[in-house]
Structure 1
Amino acid sequence: TVLAMDKLSEADRDAFANLDRSVATLAPADLGPVLAEPDASWMTRIEAEWKRRYGS
């Protein structure tokens, strides 16, 4: 989930922990480490590289 679980109440954390998962839903432990979003300042470089590779 994108939620900060440590900021939820205990009741809300329990509700998430007790959700039924389908075969297509991974448990949080199976998802791997959380990655921070890139800094917004990277967008200029990413956009320029995209245009260079794929055109406008």
Structure 2
Amino acid sequence: MNKDQVKGTVGKVKGKINETIGRATGNTKQEVKGDIQQAVGQARKNLGDAKEAVKKT
């Protein structure tokens, strides 16, 4: 597991937390921020996954 995979997963978790809090409190801005964090985290994790795949070949 490389640093991009770890940071991507952490970003996804932070985003999910922000989204959940935003939804629970009715704060649309925080909910959207969480959605964006999740998307960025997923992209970074995908980058890390690709790096690992290249390393294995």
> Relative contact order (alpha carbons < 8 A, sep ≥ 6): 1 or 2 greater?
2
Larger radius of gyration: 1
